[in-house]
Amino acid sequence: MTTIDLAGVSLDVWEGGDGPPLLFLHGAGGFRGDHPFLGLLGRRRRIVAPSHPGFGLSPLPDWIDRPDDIAHIYLDLLTRIAPGPIDLIACSLGGWIGAELASMAPEKFRRLIFVAPVGVKIGSRDKLDIPDIFATPAAEVEKMLYHEPEKFRPDPSKMSDQELTVMLRNRETTALLTWEPYMHNPKLPHRLHRVTNKALFLRGEHDGLISAPYVEGYAKLLPDARTLTLPNTGHVPQVETPEAFVTAALAFLDGEG
Amino acid sequence: MQAWHFSETAYHLLPPAETYDSIRVSLPNKHYDPKIGADLYHRYLDEWLLAEDEGLHIMLNEHHQTATCVDPAAPLMLSILARQSHKARLLILGNPIANRRQPVRVAEEMAMIDVLSRGRLEAGFVRGVPYEISPANSNPVRMNEREFEALDLIIKAWTNHDGPVSFEGRFFHARQINIWPRPYQTPHPPIWISTTSPAGAARVGERGYVQATFLTGFDGTKAIFDSYRSAWRKAGRGNDMPLDRLAYAAMVYTGETEAQAYAGAEKLLWYITSNKVPPHFASPPGYVPVETGLKMLRGAEHPLSAFAKAASVEAAIKAGIMMCGTPDQVVKQIRAVYDHVGGFGHLLNMGQAGFLEADDTVRGIKLFAREVLPALQEFRAP
C-alpha cells in the first residue's frame, strides 16, 4: 500500500501486476493484497486498487457519506493511473461506486466488470431488493455471502488488533454509505444510459444478497451490458473461486465481442 | 435531593422468552392486546399522578418497537401529564434527537408542553440506544454529531423571538425558524442529557446541562460524574458545581419489611432480565467507537449484560444499581452510592417494571416518599 493525496483526501492504494491498467474497486469487506485472484489477474493487468475512504486504514473525511462522494474523488485517480481508457472490476459496494464513476466519466474506461454490484433499486417499494444485512444475524449474513461460509468465517481470536480494527472500520463505513436509501441511489438508473462501454455483470450462483433478477435488471440499465452466472460460488467469487473468476474476467476483458 | 418516579410503561404479558429472538425491534405486535394496553396506559398515568401527590417528580422516556417501553411518542404521554398534574416537574428523558428528522418539530413539542404545564418541563435529550436504529431507519454512524447539532438547532428555535432565523448545519437545515408557542420558561426549559460513558459526560459537563446516567453502579457512575465535574471546571464554570447537575437512575423499592421489599424488587429486575436482544440489534456498526468495538471483540462485556446472566436483588444492591429494603436500609444504600460517586441532586427511581402490579407499585412509592425522601434532604455534598 502507498498513501496518496487525492482532492485533499488521503488514500491507501495498492498496486501490482503487469499489463494494461485496471482499476479494482473492493466491496464492503475491504481490500486485502494477499488474495490469490490478484496474482492471477496481475499476470495480465496492472492493478490499481484504492482502499476506499473509511475502509482499511484510509481516513474518512467527515463530509463523505454516500458512494458517489467516493466516485468524485476517484475521478482524479483515473487521470493518475493512465492517460487513456482503463478497465474496471468493481465488486458489490465497490460496484456501486464504479457505476457512479462510470456514469460520470464513461470515456475514461475501456471495459467494465461489475461483480454482484449494489447501487440501484429494481423491485417493488414493498420488498427489499437486498436483504437488510444490519438486521440479520452474522451467521446468516455469512451464508448469504459464501457458497461455503465455514471456509471464510472470521475468527477474532486469531486476528491482530489491526485486523480487527480494519474489520470494524469496514463495517462502520459500509453502514454509513449504504444506510438510506438502502444500498441504492435513486438517481443512478437515470444516469447509466451514458455508460455505453461494453460491460459484464457477474453473479455467483449462490449469492444470497444479490438475486439473479436484480443483476438482470441492473444490466439492462446500461446500453451494452451482458450477464454471466458463475457456478459453485457466492457473493464474493473473486475470493471464493479465484481461478474461475479470473478466467471469466479476462475472457471478457480480452474478448473480441 | 429531588426524587423522580419513572416507569417505562412496559407491556409485560408476553409469550415465553424462548419463543422469540428479541423483545425489541422484531417482536410481532400480535402479542400486544390493545385492550390490555389501554388499561396499562391509564394505570401508569395514575401512578405518576399518585407519585406527584406524594411529593415526587415525574419522569418518562421513549423507546420504539419494544414491549419493554410502549411509549414511542413520549411527548404525547407527557402532554397528558402536563394537563393532569399540577405541581411536579415533568422530565422527558428523553427525546431521541439523533433519530428525529425535524429538530424544529421537537422544539415545538417541548415548547407546547412547557406552556401547558406552566413552566414545569425538564427537557431531556438522548442519543438513543442501539436498538432504536432500525425502528427509526436511522444511520448508526455519526449519531453524537447529529445529537448535538440537533440540540443546537432546538435551542436556537427556543430562544429566538424576533421572527424567522435560519440554520444550515451538517445534518439539519431550516430556513424559517419561528416557533409558536415559545417556551414558558426563560430562556428555555432546563436541558438534561443521558449518557453512560465518561466521554459522553465530558461533552455534557462542558455545556453545563444536567447529566443523567442509568444503572451504572458504583464505579461506572463515579467515572461518569468525575468526567462531568472535570469538564464543567475546565469550561470555566467555577469550582462549585451544583449537585443538581447530576442525576442517577436506579431501581428502587421500599417495603415495610425487608421480605416485602425483596418481593417487590425481584419484580423490578425485569428491567434487566427481560432485555433479550440479539447482537445485530444490540451492536449496530458504528454505534460505539472502533476502540470500544475492539474491546468487545476481545471479550469485554457490558456490565448490565454480565449482571443479567445471574441477576439477583442482592447482586443489584451490591452493584449499586438497586436500592431495596426497609426505609432505613434504602436510605443507607442511596447514601453509599451518593458518597462513592461524589454526590448527586436527583434520584431517578425506576419504581415500576414488569410484573410489579399497581397496588405494590403504589405502596412502594408511598413508603419511599414518606419514609425515605425526607432523609435524603439531609444529604450534603461529600
The terminus-to-terminus CA distance of chain B in angstroms comes to 13
Q: What is the pLDDT along chain A (257 residues), one digit of tens a residue?
A: 899 999 899 999 999 999 999 999 999 999 999 999 999 999 999 999 999 999 999 999 999 999 999 999 999 999 999 999 999 999 999 999 999 999 999 999 999 999 999 999 999 999 999 999 999 999 999 999 999 999 999 899 999 999 999 999 999 999 999 999 999 999 999 999 999 999 999 999 999 999 999 999 999 999 999 999 999 999 999 999 999 999 999 999 999 87
Would the CB atoms of A134 and B280 count as touching at under 8 Å? yes
Query: Secondary structure of B302-351 in the HEC alphabet?
Result: CHHHHHHCCCCHHHHHHHCCEEEECHHHHHHHHHHHHHHHCCCCEEEEEE
- B278, B284, B294 ranked by CB distance to A134: nearest: B284
Q: Where are the domains positioned within chain A? A: 2-253
Return the beta strands (E) in chain A as ranges: 2-6, 9-17, 21-25, 46-51, 86-91, 109-115, 199-204, 225-230
Between the CA of residue B217 and those of A26, B221, B341, what are the distances in Å?
44, 6, 9
Q: Which residues of B touch A (CB under 8 A)?
A: 25-26, 133-134, 137, 139-142, 145, 170, 278-281, 284-286, 290, 293-294, 297-298
Pairing of the two strands B165-168 and B173-177: antiparallel
Would the CB atoms of B294 and A164 count as touching at under 8 Å? yes
How many contacts does A have with B, using Cβ atoms within 8 A?
A: 60
Cα–Cα dist A148/A146, whole Å: 5
- Please tell me whether the peptide bond between B187 and the residue prior to it is cis, using omega within 30 degrees of 0: yes
Q: Where are the domains positioned within chain B? A: 2-376
User: Which residues, at least 6 apart from B266, have a Cβ–Cβ distance to it below 8 Å?
Assistant: B313
Q: What is the pLDDT along chain B (382 residues), one digit of tens a residue?
A: 999 999 999 999 999 999 999 999 999 999 999 999 999 999 999 999 999 999 999 999 999 999 999 999 999 999 999 999 999 999 999 999 999 999 999 999 999 999 999 999 999 999 999 999 999 999 999 999 999 999 999 999 999 999 999 999 999 999 999 999 999 999 999 999 999 899 999 999 999 999 999 999 999 999 999 999 999 999 999 988 999 999 999 999 999 999 999 999 999 999 999 999 999 999 999 999 999 999 999 998 888 888 988 899 999 999 999 999 999 999 999 999 999 999 999 999 999 999 999 999 999 999 999 999 999 999 988 8
B290 contacts in chain A (CB < 8 Å) = 165, 168-169, 172
ipTM > 0.85 for the complex = yes
H or E, element range at A58: none
In total, chain B counts a number of residues equal to 382
Q: Is A136 on the interface with B (CB under 8 A)?
A: yes
- A65, A135, A172 ranked by CB distance to B290: nearest: A172
What is the CATH number assigned to the segment(s) B2-376?
A: 3.20.20.30
Mutation site for A-interface testing, chosen from B134, B139, B142, B276 by largest number of A Cβ within 10 Å: B139
Quick one: pLDDT at residue B37?
Answer: 98
Q: Is A137 on the interface with B (CB under 8 A)?
A: yes
Q: Is A139 on the interface with B (CB under 8 A)?
A: no
Classify residue A193 by its DSSP letter.
G
B293 contacts in chain A (CB < 8 Å) = 168
What is the CATH number assigned to the segment(s) A2-253?
A: 3.40.50.1820
Cα–Cα dist B39/B17, whole Å: 23
A62 contacts in chain B (CB < 8 Å) = 142, 145, 170
Residue B237: is it exposed, middle or buried by C-beta count within 10 angstroms (0-12/13-18/19+)? middle
Mutation site for B-interface testing, chosen from A62, A134, A160 by largest number of B Cβ within 10 Å: A134
